Structure 1
Amino acid sequence: MDALFILTMLVVICALAFDFINGFHDTANAIATSVSTKALKPRHAIILAGVMNFAGAMTFTGVAKTITTDIIDPTKLEAGSLFILAALLAAIAWNLITWYYGIPSSSSHAIIGAIAGAGITAAGFGALKAEGFIKILKALIISPLLAFVIGFILYSIFKVVFKNFNLTKTNRNFRFIQIATAALQSFTHGTNDAQKAMGIITMALIAANYQQSTDIQLWVQVSCALAMGLGTSVGGWRIIKTVGGKIMKIRPVNGVAADLTGAAVIFGASYIHLPVSTTHVISSSILGVGSAHRLKGVKWGTAQRMVITWFITLPISGTLAAIIYYILNLFF
C-alpha cells in the first residue's frame, strides 16, 4: 500500500472518530433541556437523540458540500490528505479537552478552525478560499445571536399566552411537548453536524484523486450517520449538566421554547447549506429564553465561560492543527 492510500484511510478513520466524539460532545445539547426537566429519562433521551440524529444525517448533504469546497481547495495542495488528517487530530483533541471539563464548546468551530490552520500551514494563505471562509464565519457568528433573539421573543409570547393557565398543569403538558421538540432538535442536529465529517471525507477522497465530484457517496453518508448515532448513545453527561442546569433553572415551558428556537435556527442553516455550531445555537436559545423569563435567573458566570471558549476555539484549534501538520510532515 502506498502512503497516499494509508493517509486516506487514516483520514476516514479519524473523521468517523470525530463524528463519534461529536455525537457525545454536541448531541448532549439537543437533549439537555428535556433531561433536566424530567420530560425524558436520560436513557430514553439518548436513544431518541441517536435515532433522530441518524435520520437527520441521512436526509441532507448540502452542508457537507460546503465543508468540502468552501474553506480550502484540496486539489491545490500537494499533501492534501496530510493537512486534513492534521485538522481532524487537532479538532478531536480540543473536543476531548472541552468535554472533560464539561465546557460546551463548538465542534464546528474546532474543525473549521483546524482545517483553515492546517491548510494555511501546508500551502500558505493563498490556499484559503476567503469568500467561502468568511461566509461560514458569518454563519457561526450570526446564528447564536439569532437564536438568542428568537428565544427571547418566543418565550415572551409564551408568557403572554399562558399567563392565566394553571402552572402545574401547563408544565405537565409541556413535558409531553418536550418529547417532540427534543426529537425535532436532534433531527436538525443531524442535518448539520454529521455532515461536517461527510464533507471532510469527501475532501480527502478528492485530494487523493479517488473521486472528482463533490457528491457525497452513500457509504460516506451512512458511516458518518452511524458514527454520530453511536456517539450519541454514549451520552455526554458533563455537557448535559452544564447546558441543562448551569445556565438557568429550566422548566418544561422554557425547554420547549429553547428547543423550538434551536431547531428552527439549525434547520434554517442546513437548508441554505451553511454549517453552524449547534452548541452555540442551543446554548444561546436557552440564554434568550432565560433572559425573557428572569434576567437574574440566568447564571451569567457560566455563560461568560462558554462565550470565552467559543472565541478561543477557532485560533486554538487552528494552531494545534498547524503544529500537528509539522509533526506529521516529518513522518510522511
Structure 2
Amino acid sequence: MLDMFTGLSFVMGLSLFFALLFVLAYEFINGFHDTANAVATVIYTKAMSPYTAVIASGIFNFLGVILGGLGVAYAIVHLLPVDMLLNITSVHGMVLVFSLLTAAIIWNLGTWYFGIPASSSHTLIGSLLGVCLANALINGIPINEGVNVKKAIDIMLSLLISPLVGFGVAALVLLLLKRIFTGPKIHKTPLEREKIDGKKHPPFWTRVTLVASAMGVSFVHGSNDGQKGIGLIMLVLIGLTPAQFVLNLDSSTYEIERTRDAAVHLKSLYRENKANLSSLIDIDKTQMEIPSGSFKCNANDAIPVIDALLSELKGTAHYKDLSLDDRRDVRRLLLCIDDTAKKVSKIDALSSKDKQDLGNLRKDITATTEYAPFWVIIAVALALGLGTMMGWKRIVYTVGEKIGKTGMTYSQGMSAQITAATAIGVASVTGMPVSTTHVLSSAVAGTMVANRSGLQFSTIKTILLAWVFTLPVTILLSGGLFYIGTLFI
C-alpha cells in the first residue's frame, strides 16, 4: 500500500495523501448523513437503543462494502466520458478529484446541519457532471461529448424512479400487513404502546423484523454507497499514480490471455457482421491516426485499435513487465475497445446471440482495468462504518416525526425498511447507484399516505427542494472549482 508513494515528488505525494483523505472524509460524512436513514425507524420505534443501532449499522455497512462487488463503483467512474478517462494526467486528475469532492462535502455537511435528508449519491453525481461540463467548456468540446450522456441519463432515471417505487411499494406492503395482522399491537406508535400497554419496546417478532430490516438497509447501503467511494479512490490512484494502478498489476497470465483472446474474438465478430456495422466501423481500415497531445477513441478505428492492443500484449505474461507508457497505452486501448463494443451492442441489426457474446467479451476486456485493491475496499468500509456511528440524531428526528403528521407505527417502520432494503439491494446487484435517503424517505411517506396519517408538507417541500437544487448547486460548485483549478496548472 505505502509503495504507491515511491517515486512521487513531495508535492505529488502530499496531493495523493490529501486526495485519499478527501475521499475517505466524503465516505465518513456519507456514513452519518445517509445511514441515519437506515437506523431512523429502528431507533424511533425503540426496537434498538440508539447507540446499539448505530454500532450495528456501522458493522453491517462495513460488511456491505466488503461483499458488494464493483458494479456501482465503475458505473460512477464511467460518468466521465471515455476520452476524459483516456487522457487523465496526474495534475489534471488532482484538480478533478479535489473539485468534485470539495463540492460534495460542502453540500453534504450543509444539508446534514439543517437535518435535511438529502442524497449523497445525488450530490456526488452532480459534482461529477460539474467537472465534466467545465472540462468540455474549457477545451471547446461539445456538451454531448464532454459528458457521458447515456450513462448520466441511466443514473438519473434510477435516482428518479427508485423513490417513486419506494413510495408505492411501501404503501402496498403496509396495506398488506394491515390485512394479515388485524390485531392492534403491530399498528401502534411507540407512544401508544407505552401509554396503553406500559411497555417501551415493540412486540418480540415485530422487534426482530424491525432490527433485521434496518440491518438489511445498512448492508445494502454499504454495498451501494460504499462502491461509490471505491470508484472515487480508483480515480485518484489512476490519475495520480498511474504506474501502479492504470492496470491490475496482480493480473495472472491467464487473465491477460483471456483479455487478448477477447480482443481477437471481437475482431472476428466485427468482420462477420461487416454489413451491419458499416455505419460505425470501417472493417477494412488497418491504420489509425493518433492526434497529438491526446488519445481520442473513434469507433471507426476499431480494427487498428484491436491490432495495436494485440501488438502491445504480444509475449506479455505480466503487466509488471511493461513500462509505464506501455501500461498507459494498454489501458487506453482496452477502454477504447470496450467503448466501441458498447456502441456496437446497441445496433438493432445485430442478433441476440452476438449481443450476448459482446457482453461476455466486454467482461474479459475490462477484467484487468475495472478492479480495486483489497486495502481500498477496507479503507472505504472503515470510513463508512465509523461515520455511521456519529451525527445520526438530526436525520433520525426528521424521518421519525417530521414526514408524517402522526408518529410512525411499527408496521410503517417495517414496511419502509423492507421496501428500502429490497430496492437498494436490487440496484446494487444490477450496478445502478440509488439514494438510500430518497428511497427510505419516500417509503416512509408512502406508509403515511397508506395509513391516512397525512404528510407534513413543510418537510416534504424541504426534501423536494433539496432534491431539485442538489444537482444545479453541485454542478456549479464543482465546475467552478475545476475551472479555477485549471487556471493554475
- Give TM class, smaller chain: over 0.9
SS at match of 1:28: helix
Distance 1:132 1:238 in 2: 33
- Which amino acid is the alignment partner of residue 134 of structure 2? T
On the 8 A contact 2:213/2:418 being kept in 1, the answer is yes
SS at match of 1:234: coil
Q: How does 1:247-258 map to 2 (within 5 A)?
A: 247-248=403-404, 249-258=407-416
Partner of 2:467: 310
On the 8 A contact 2:224/2:434 being kept in 1, the answer is yes
Q: TM-score, normalised by structure 1?
A: 0.94
On the 8 A contact 2:46/2:202 being kept in 1, the answer is no
Question: Which of 228, 233, 242 pairs up with 2:384?
Answer: 228
How far the C-alpha of 1:20 sits from its partner, in A, is: 0.3
Distance 2:229 2:131 in 1: 16
On the 8 A contact 2:66/2:377 being kept in 1, the answer is yes
1:193 and 2:349 equivalent? no
How far the C-alpha of 1:128 sits from its partner, in A, is: 1.2
1:62 and 2:71 equivalent? yes
Distance 1:46 1:182 in 2: 10
On the 8 A contact 2:79/2:128 being kept in 1, the answer is no
Query: Could you tell me the percent identity over the aligned residues?
Result: 37
Distance 2:431 2:373 in 1: 17
Partner of 2:165: 146
Partner of 2:402: 246
Q: TM-score, normalised by structure 2?
A: 0.65
How far the C-alpha of 1:76 sits from its partner, in A, is: 3.4
Query: Which has the larger displacement, 256-265 or 212-221?
Result: 212-221
Distance 1:148 1:32 in 2: 17
Question: Which of 15, 33, 55 pairs up with 1:25?
Answer: 33
Distance 2:97 2:418 in 1: 35
Partner of 1:289: 447
On the 8 A contact 1:51/1:229 being kept in 2, the answer is yes
Partner of 2:101: 88
- Which amino acid is the alignment partner of residue 136 of structure 1? I
How far the C-alpha of 1:195 sits from its partner, in A, is: 1.1
Name the CA shift for 1:137/1:71 in 2 (closer, same or farther; >3 Å): farther
**Any gaps of 5 or more consecutive residues in structure 1?**
none
On the 8 A contact 1:108/1:277 being kept in 2, the answer is yes
How far the C-alpha of 1:12 sits from its partner, in A, is: 1.3
Q: Which has the larger radius of gyration?
A: 2
On the 8 A contact 1:77/1:122 being kept in 2, the answer is no
Question: Which of 476, 479, 485 pairs up with 1:319?
Answer: 476
- Which amino acid is the alignment partner of residue 69 of structure 1? H
On the 8 A contact 2:38/2:217 being kept in 1, the answer is yes
How far the C-alpha of 1:171 sits from its partner, in A, is: 4.6
RMSD: 1.8
On the 8 A contact 1:7/1:82 being kept in 2, the answer is no
On the 8 A contact 1:64/1:197 being kept in 2, the answer is yes
SS at match of 1:267: helix
On the 8 A contact 1:84/1:118 being kept in 2, the answer is no
Query: Which has the larger displacement, 51-60 or 6-15?
Result: 6-15
Post-superposition Cα deviations, 1:156-183, rounded to whole Å, max 9, x if no partner, equal 1011111245556895231232111111
Post-superposition Cα deviations, 1:124-180, rounded to whole Å, max 9, x if no partner, equal 432311111111111111111111111011111011111245556895231232111
- Which amino acid is the alignment partner of residue 78 of structure 2? T
On the 8 A contact 1:29/1:243 being kept in 2, the answer is yes
Distance 1:273 1:26 in 2: 19
On the 8 A contact 1:139/1:275 being kept in 2, the answer is yes
* Alignment coverage as a number of residue pairs: 331
How far the C-alpha of 1:4 sits from its partner, in A, is: 4.7
Distance 1:5 1:66 in 2: 28
User: Which has more helix, going by share of residues?
Assistant: 1
How far the C-alpha of 1:301 sits from its partner, in A, is: 2.0
Partner of 1:172: 203
Distance 2:183 2:132 in 1: 57
How far the C-alpha of 1:51 sits from its partner, in A, is: 0.3
Name the CA shift for 1:76/1:240 in 2 (closer, same or farther; >3 Å): same
Question: Which of 86, 94, 107 pairs up with 1:75?
Answer: 86
**Any gaps of 5 or more consecutive residues in structure 2?**
1-8, 138-142, 187-192, 247-368
Distance 2:432 2:25 in 1: 22
- Which amino acid is the alignment partner of residue 376 of structure 2? V
Partner of 2:438: 280
Distance 2:235 2:146 in 1: 14
How far the C-alpha of 1:260 sits from its partner, in A, is: 0.1
How far the C-alpha of 1:72 sits from its partner, in A, is: 3.8
